[in-house]
Structure 1
Amino acid sequence: MVSSCHCYPIRVRGACGNTARRNAAKVFCSNSVQTPPSQSTIKVVIVGATKEIGRTAVLAVSKARGMELAGAIDSQCIGEDAGQISGMEEPLEIPVLNDLTMVLGSIAQSRATGVVVDFSEPSTVYDNVKQAAAFGLSSVVYVPKIELETVTELSAFCEKASMGCLVAPTLSIGSVLLQQAAIQASFHYSNVEIVESRPNPSDLPSQEAIQIANNISDLGQIYNREDMDSNSPARGQILGEDGVRVHSMVLPGLASSTSINFSGPGEIYTLRHDVTNVQCLMPGLILAIRKVVRLKNLIYGLEKFL
């Protein structure tokens, strides 16, 4: 049973409140007696920790069995406690830093199993995964706008480095199950249309709709043959070459929703998934963290873990 004391040098670039300090170093000490983490504890570093999904992940990781938040990385809220900015009553004594290398070095010295969860931007993902691998940490990447070219480059790097990495277009288990059900249904129906709703108009059709269309294409099925040549905007956008159509609605205040509508003689089969908030991604994230430490290469898609 030991007490803990952590010292982190901080380079201040900005702050999200009044708690940040411009000290050359900031010391967080706990006088309470704590049980040292077991050898099986996974130390987790969250990149993009002050985003909504990052703050939610801080809470989820802190509550997850066998996990410990070891670092919170962002360019905002430097020096503030990761737990407090995430809404926790008690501080985690983990300050938000902008130096990923320093945090990774600390974990590597402890020889603990570690995972970097990356919620950053497409332009920084490759370097973040390389840094994590250099210190012996696996990575979970959830950056929806990441280019497939970057994924290909990361796959080659992880294969060579023998390091585990998951690149997930979605962390929602419900979304993955929706897509798996759609693949099964696509063998039995020749008409299909995707209808999605989003509160914001950015990046439509959504990555989820594109992923669904890709999954049910190239299966030897041509959909909606009756109006394949229709160019009416009211008929939606065709994704791919197999005739899958998508219709996107944007209404402020509307929950994110995706439905896949199949039809055959005398019947309509509808699959639907609604998302009310970012917490829906946390079970998938925790699952990904537990599984990725066993990998020696990159895999694409959370469905590989289900």
Structure 2
Amino acid sequence: MIKVVVAGALGKMGQESCKAVLNAEGMELVGAMDCKEFHGSIGSFLGKPEVNIQISNNIEQVLLELKPDVLIDFTRPGVVQENIELALKHGVRPVIGTTGMAASEIEGFIKSASEKKIGGLIVPNFAIGALLMIKFATEAAKYFPNVEIIELHHDQKMDAPSGTALKTAESIASVRGNMSQGMPSEFEKIDGARGGDFEGMKIHSIRLPGFVAHQEVIFGGTGQTLSIRHDSIARESFMPGLILAVRKVMSLDHMVYGLENILFE
């Protein structure tokens, strides 16, 4: 039985994570943490009064007392870093869905996990369809190197561009390199109109109510265009990948960045 605790349990992704673990065979939700003030059980919050797991705001105490196998984290930048450090300190395998960490921070955690021989996963997107989008886009970039990325998320998302967009751009750059696109003499009449730049490709972030998580990768070639798009229309779309990650991390002795690196191996 894999013992799991969830950090950020009162958030939308945290709630879905708790429900997914509760419903998963061979897993046990043993703890729920959140920095919000809530006196009661996660079961009462989820409408499952039979789940009598009290919500805590002290992660180190939870890790020490419950000794879980896995920590699922859907918190926020500035919080997730300490949670990862504490998980590794106490021999708990972190499965991280929080985005917004710097590349240098991710590299540091990968090094630390390897030194401690503790498995871990940092996953920008748990949706299997999104991982396939990145895989297909990377293949397409070999033939269509001119590309731009548009990502669309709900207006409560803190970081931009999304972790998925950055992972897509990194993967594309691995096959096409840094390449100048478009008219060299172009200029912006409004700062930021052309989006952010990553290795020569533009990334555009949209934040509006009504969206969950969506991305389109648009390629341009001579007399043709190619679009690869993925849409998560509900947060449940991330749960099969999350449960897969929890199972997979039990057999790792190092930290992996991106679920595709174990899904497509």
Q: TM-score range by the shorter chain?
A: 0.7 to 0.9
- Please, which of 228, 232, 235 is the counterpart of residue 271 of structure 1? 228
Give the structure, 1 or 2, with the largest relative contact order (CA under 8 Å, sep 6 or more): 2
Q: Is the 8 A contact 1:190 1:222 kept in 2?
A: no
Residues 153-172 of structure 1: pairs in structure 2 closer than 5 A: 153-172=108-127
Q: In the alignment, does 2:12 pair up with 1:52?
A: yes
In the other structure, the counterpart of 1:117 is: 72
Q: What is the distance in 2 between the residues matched to 1:100 and 1:173?
A: 29
For residue 171 of structure 1, report the CA deviation from its aligned partner: 1.9
In the other structure, the counterpart of 1:182 is: 137
Q: In the alignment, does 2:247 pair up with 1:280?
A: no
For residue 78 of structure 1, report the CA deviation from its aligned partner: 3.8
Residue aligned with 1:227, SS: coil
Q: What is the distance in 1 between the residues matched to 2:151 and 2:35?
A: 33
For residue 209 of structure 1, report the CA deviation from its aligned partner: 2.3
Q: What is the distance in 2 between the residues matched to 1:72 and 1:176?
A: 28
Q: Is the 8 A contact 1:191 1:263 kept in 2?
A: yes
Q: What is the distance in 2 between the residues matched to 1:118 and 1:128?
A: 8
Q: In the alignment, does 2:62 pair up with 1:103?
A: yes
Deviations 1:69-110 (A, max 9, x none): 01011132544111221233x4211111123233323334xx
For residue 255 of structure 1, report the CA deviation from its aligned partner: 5.0
Note the aligned Cα RMSD (angstroms). Answer: 2.4
**Seq. identity, %:** 31
Which residue identity lines up with residue 87 of structure 1 in the other structure? G
Question: Higher Cα Rg: structure 1 or 2?
Answer: 1
Query: Which sections of structure 2, spanning at least 5 residues, go unmatched?
Result: none
Q: What is the distance in 2 between the residues matched to 1:265 and 1:127?
A: 49
Larger displacement relative to structure 2 (204-213 or 217-226):
217-226
The TM-score, its normalising length taken from structure 1, stands at 0.76
For residue 257 of structure 1, report the CA deviation from its aligned partner: 2.3
Q: What is the distance in 2 between the residues matched to 1:257 and 1:227?
A: 28
Residue aligned with 1:156, SS: helix
- Please, which of 12, 31, 56 is the counterpart of residue 71 of structure 1? 31
Report the CA distance shift for 1:186/1:62 in structure 2 as closer, same or farther (over 3 A): same
Q: What is the distance in 2 between the residues matched to 1:220 and 1:145?
A: 25
Report the CA distance shift for 1:213/1:228 in structure 2 as closer, same or farther (over 3 A): farther
For residue 254 of structure 1, report the CA deviation from its aligned partner: 4.3
Which residue identity lines up with residue 57 of structure 2 in the other structure? N
Which residue identity lines up with residue 95 of structure 1 in the other structure? Q
Which residue identity lines up with residue 168 of structure 2 in the other structure? I
The TM-score, its normalising length taken from structure 2, stands at 0.87
How many residues align? The count is: 260
Residue aligned with 1:152, SS: helix
Q: Is the 8 A contact 1:78 1:98 kept in 2?
A: no
Residue aligned with 1:106, SS: helix
Q: What is the distance in 2 between the residues matched to 1:92 and 1:209?
A: 36
Q: What is the distance in 2 between the residues matched to 1:46 and 1:174?
A: 24
Q: What is the distance in 2 between the residues matched to 1:125 and 1:248?
A: 23
In the other structure, the counterpart of 2:50 is: 91
Q: Is the 8 A contact 2:31 2:66 kept in 1?
A: no
Q: What is the distance in 1 between the residues matched to 2:44 and 2:30?
A: 15
Residues 139-288 of structure 1: pairs in structure 2 closer than 5 A: 139-200=94-155, 203-220=159-176, 225-232=181-188, 236-241=194-199, 243-254=200-211, 256-288=213-245
Which residue identity lines up with residue 16 of structure 2 in the other structure? T
For residue 42 of structure 1, report the CA deviation from its aligned partner: 0.1
Residue aligned with 2:218, SS: strand
Query: Which sections of structure 1, spanning at least 5 residues, go unmatched?
Result: 1-40
Deviations 1:128-157 (A, max 9, x none): 233323433211112111222221221222
